Amino acid sequence: MNPLTGKAALVTGGSRGIGAATVLRLAREGADVAFTFTSSHHRAEALAEQVRELGRTAVALQADSTDPAQVRGAVDDAAARLGRLDILVNSAGVMIPGAIEKLSVDDIDRTFALNVRAVFLTAQEALRYLPEGGRIIILGSNVADYTPFPGMALYASSKSALHGLTRGLARELGPRGINTVLVQPGPTDTDANPADGPQAHRMRDLTPLGRYGRPDDIAAMIAHLAGEGGRHITGTTITIDGGLNT
């Protein structure tokens, strides 16, 4: 039996990059998976079909994570269509780089709406369904602890907020048997941050392992935390960055 057989998961921002790798990894480990996407129906349906080919149920939910009603609605739809909800993975997010004097109020509001408020609201709504043994896994970023270049203040501050949220949720939800963990990827080879991008060599030079991570490197840890291996892990941060923050 696969370790997540009988479990149901929701992955926000699950149609691409680390989110998509997480959807597939959870399905391979036996979970039925719902995931949110913003605009690409074709990409979302292709991913859902991959999950179905693994013999698992897939539910693709279009939702704008800046809209509180859609955030809550996605959780409710996922639980209704999967019949339960055991695992919540908050992967949706945005990075708007730029010198601090050039960032607008709209940039600030959008960043915190996606990277912080949506995470809070998704967790809040998921508590209606998560049973004892449930998991909340939040995707942050290593830049919350180490910001290597200028222009990252807004993104870093939003991801730093997730430290406090993770600890607070862990303290509050631990008595209910629900674990909360923050996973912080470093440079990871996705279409948003390709390993052959124009600045990638700078990141590799700073990284002890000298390479970008792969989305499945992050997804493997998430699957571990979602299963029995994560039963005694809560309120902490796990950074997967090839040693960049060393």
**Residues marked as catalytic:** 155
Which single residue is written with the structure tokens 């291996």? 229
Q: Which helix H or strand E contains 62, and what residues bound it?
A: strand 58-62
CA 169 to centroid of chain Cα atoms: 16
Cα distances (angstroms) measured from residue 139 to each of 101, 181, 183, 237: 27, 9, 5, 10
Instruction: With beta carbons less than 8 A apart as the criterion, state whether 47 and 116 touch.
Output: no
Cα distances (angstroms) measured from residue 213 to each of 21, 37, 186, 237: 12, 23, 7, 18
87-90 and 236-240 as β-strands: parallel, antiparallel, unpaired?
A: unpaired
Of 62, 165, 159, 180, nearest to 121 by C-alpha is 165
Q: Which helix H or strand E contains 45, and what residues bound it?
A: helix 41-53
Buried b (16+ CB within 10 A) or exposed e, 119-150: bbbbbebbbebbeeebbbbbbbbbbbbbbeee
Of 120, 50, 124, 91, nearest to 192 by C-alpha is 91
Instruction: With beta carbons less than 8 A apart as the criterion, state whether 134 and 101 touch.
Output: no
Q: Whole-angstrom Cα distance, residue 113 to residue 124?
A: 15
